[in-house]
C-alpha cells in the first residue's frame, strides 16, 4: 500500500511551483532551504517520478509536476475548506443538535428547552426525531441521533450512558364525577371492571403499567390504547374510563378540577427520565448545554429529582 501524501510536502511543492525558487519558497513557508529541498525529494520518492527540474537558480516543473500541481492545489484547498468548517463548528452558536424524544417529551418538555437553547445557539441546526422508547434506543445505536430523552433503559444496556433528569409517578386520573373521585380512593376489586385508557402498547410506559398490575395480580381485561396523552385526558374527561399518566402531564386539568388524580395502589409506580447517549461518546458543547437546559426546565416545571417521585403525591 502506497503511503499517504504528506500535507507539508504538498505545501512545499505548491510554494516552490509558484515562486520558482527554493530560496523564496523557504521564506514563504518560514523554513530553511534545505527543509524545502528535503520535502520535495521525499515527495518525488512517494509519487515515484520527478516533479521539478533545476535550471541554474530557477526551478521548473516537469510535465508530471504540472499535472500534479493541479491535484496538489485542489487537495490543499479542500483541506482548508475542512479546517474552516471545523473552526466555524467550534464557535459559539454554531453546530448540530440531533435529539430523539417521546411524543410526551416533545409536547411538554422540549418546547421550553429548545426556546432557551435557540437563544444560546442561534445558528445551530436542530433536528428532533419523535418516537417511543424502543425507537429512540435504535436511533442512538445506529448513530442517527446523538441524544435521546427517554425513560431509564434496562440496566443490561451497557452500551448507553444515562444522565438522570427527573422522576415521576404514574397515577390514575378520572373525571370529577367518577365513583373513584367521590370515594377519594380506588377499590382494588373495581380496577378489573373499569376501562383503563393507556398509552400505546409499544411504549415503555405501557410495559411498566402492565408489569405493575401483573405483580399486583390485577388483570387488565378492558383497555383502550392511544398514542397521545392529550387524547387520553379527553376521553377520561367525558367519562370513558380511567386514565394512567403522570400528574405533571395533566397539571392544568388537575388544577382546574376537570380531572382528579389517585394512586394506582398501595405502592407507587415511579419512572425515571433522563438523556441517553452512546457510552464513551464525548458530548459537544451544544449537547452539554442542551442537557443542562433539560435539567433547568425540569426544575421550573416542578418535577422531582430522580429518587424523589414517591414523595410527591399530587392529588
Per-residue pLDDT tens over the stretch 253-268 = 999 999 999 999 999 9
- 286 & 157 share domain: yes
Point out the domain boundary residue: 34, 63, 90. 90
Give the number of domains in the chain: 3
For residues 123-131, give the mean pLDDT.
Answer: 90
230 is in which domain, residue-wise?
167-270
The pLDDT of residue 85 is: 60
Residue 34's Cβ-count burial label (10 Å; 0-12, 13-18, 19+) is exposed
Between residues 45 and 89, the one the model is more confident about: 45
**Planar angle of CA 262, 234, 165, nearest 5 degrees:** 60
- Specify if 314 maps to a domain: no
Mean of pLDDT values over 133-147:
89
Residue 312 lies in a domain: no
Please report where in the chains the cell 427517554 appears, as a residue. 150
Query: Residue 83 — pLDDT band, cuts 50, 70, 90?
Result: confident
Name the 3-class secondary structure at 241.
Answer: coil
In a domain, 222, yes or no: yes
CA dist 260 and 47 (Å) reads 78
Residue 133 scores a pLDDT above 70: yes
Window from 56-60, 88-92, 301-305 with minimum mean pLDDT? 88-92
The three-point CA angle 122-123-125 to 5° equals 115
Residue 313 lies inside a defined structural domain of this protein: no
Percent above pLDDT 90 for the chain? 58
> Is the residue at 301 inside a domain?
yes
**Do 233 and 171 belong to one domain?**
yes
Bridge-based pairing state of the strands 160-174 and 52-55: unpaired
Our CA angle for 151, 141, 285, nearest 5°, is: 75
Question: Has residue 252 got a pLDDT over 80?
Answer: yes
Which of 40, 60, 90 is the last residue before a domain boundary? 90
Q: Are residues 86 and 227 in the same domain?
A: no
Say whether pLDDT at 311 is over 50: no
d(CA 54, CA 36): 14
Higher pLDDT, 282 or 275: 275
**Residues 285 and 228 reside in one and the same domain:** no
126 part of a folded domain: yes
At residue 314 the predicted structure's pLDDT band, cuts being 50, 70 and 90, is very low
Q: What is the pLDDT of residue 312?
A: 43
Q: Is residue 180 in some structural domain?
A: yes
Q: Do residues 78 and 262 lie in contact, with contact meaning Cβ atoms separated by under 8 Å?
A: no
- Nine cell digits for residue 11: 505545501
* Number of helices and strands in the chain (H, E): 13, 11
Instruction: Flag the least confident range among 148-157, 225-234, 273-282.
Output: 148-157
Do 45 and 193 fall into the same domain? Answer: no
Q: What is the pLDDT of residue 260?
A: 97
Beta bridge partners of 168: 271
CATH number at residue 67: 1.10.10.10
177 and 244 co-located in one domain: yes
What does the chain come to in residues?
Answer: 315
Q: Are residues 196 and 257 in the same domain?
A: yes
Q: Using pLDDT thresholds of 50, 70 and 90, give the confidence band for residue 302.
A: confident
Same domain, 251 and 221: yes
DSSP conformational letter for 51: -
Whether 198 and 250 map to the same domain: the answer is: yes
Compute the mean pLDDT over every residue in the chain, rounded to the nearest whole number: 87
Q: Are residues 81 and 160 in the same domain?
A: no
Q: What is the DSSP letter of 240?
A: S
d(CA 313, CA 114): 29
- Band (pLDDT 50/70/90 cuts) for residue 234 is very high
Band (84; pLDDT cuts 50, 70, 90): low
Q: Are 173 and 266 in the same domain?
A: yes
Lookup: cell for 79: 483541506
Instruction: Report which of 150, 168, 172 is spatially closest to residue 160, judged by C-alpha positions.
Output: 150
CATH of residue 238 = 3.40.190.10
36 belongs to a structural domain: yes
Same domain membership, residue 102 and residue 64: no
If you write DSSP's letter for every residue of 52-85 in order, what string do you get?
A: EEEETTEEEE-HHHHHHHHHHHHHHHHHHHHHHH
pLDDT of residue 281: 86
User: Is the CB of residue 158 less than 8 Å from the CB of residue 279?
Assistant: yes
Contact 259, 237 (CB under 8 A): yes
Amino acid at each position: 500500500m502506497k503511503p499517504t501524501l504528506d500535507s507539508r510536502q504538498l505545501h512545499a511543492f505548491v510554494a516552490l511551483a509558484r515562486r520558482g525558487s527554493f530560496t523564496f519558497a523557504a521564506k514563504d513557508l518560514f523554513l530553511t532551504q534545505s527543509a524545502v529541498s528535503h520535502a520535495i525529494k521525499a515527495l518525488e520518492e512517494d509519487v515515484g517520478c520527478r516533479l521539478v527540474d533545476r535550471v541554474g537558480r530557477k526551478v521548473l516543473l516537469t510535465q508530471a509536476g504540472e499535472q500534479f500541481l493541479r491535484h496538489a492545489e485542489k487537495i490543499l484547498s479542500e483541506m482548508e475548506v475542512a479546517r474552516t468548517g471545523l473552526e466555524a463548528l467550534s464557535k459559539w452558536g454554531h453546530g448540530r443538535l440531533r435529539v430523539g424524544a417521546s411524543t410526551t417529551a416533545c409536547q411538554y418538555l422540549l418546547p421550553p428547552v429548545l426556546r432557551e437553547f435557540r437563544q444560546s445557539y442561534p445558528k445551530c441546526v436542530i433536528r428532533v426525531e419523535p418516537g417511543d422508547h424502543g425507537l429512540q434506543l435504535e436511533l442512538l445505536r445506529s448513530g442517527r441521533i446523538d441524544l435521546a430523552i427517554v425513560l431509564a433503559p434496562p440496566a443490561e444496556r451497557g452500551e448507553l450512558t444515562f444522565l438522570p433528569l427527573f422522576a415521576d409517578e404514574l397515577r390514575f386520573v378520572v373525571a370529577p364525577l367518577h365513583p373513584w373521585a367521590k370515594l377519594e380512593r380506588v377499590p382494588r376489586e373495581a380496577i378489573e371492571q373499569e376501562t383503563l385508557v393507556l398509552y400505546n402498547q409499544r411504549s415503555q410506559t405501557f410495559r411498566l403499567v402492565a408489569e405493575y398490575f401483573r405483580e399486583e395480580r390485577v388483570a387488565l381485561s378492558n383497555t383502550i390504547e392511544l398514542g397521545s396523552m392529550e387524547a387520553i385526558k379527553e376521553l377520561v374527561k367525558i367519562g370513558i374510563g380511567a386514565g394512567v399518566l403522570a400528574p405533571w402531564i395533566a397539571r392544568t386539568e388537575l388544577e382546574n378540577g376537570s380531572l382528579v388524580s389517585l394512586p394506582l395502589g398501595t405502592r407507587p409506580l415511579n419512572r425515571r427520565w433522563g438523556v441517553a447517549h452512546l457510552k464513551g461518546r464525548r458530548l459537544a458543547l451544544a449537547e452539554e448545554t442542551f442537557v443542562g437546559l433539560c435539567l433547568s426546565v425540569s426544575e421550573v416545571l416542578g418535577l422531582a429529582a430522580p429518587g424523589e417521585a414517591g414523595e410527591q403525591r399530587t392529588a
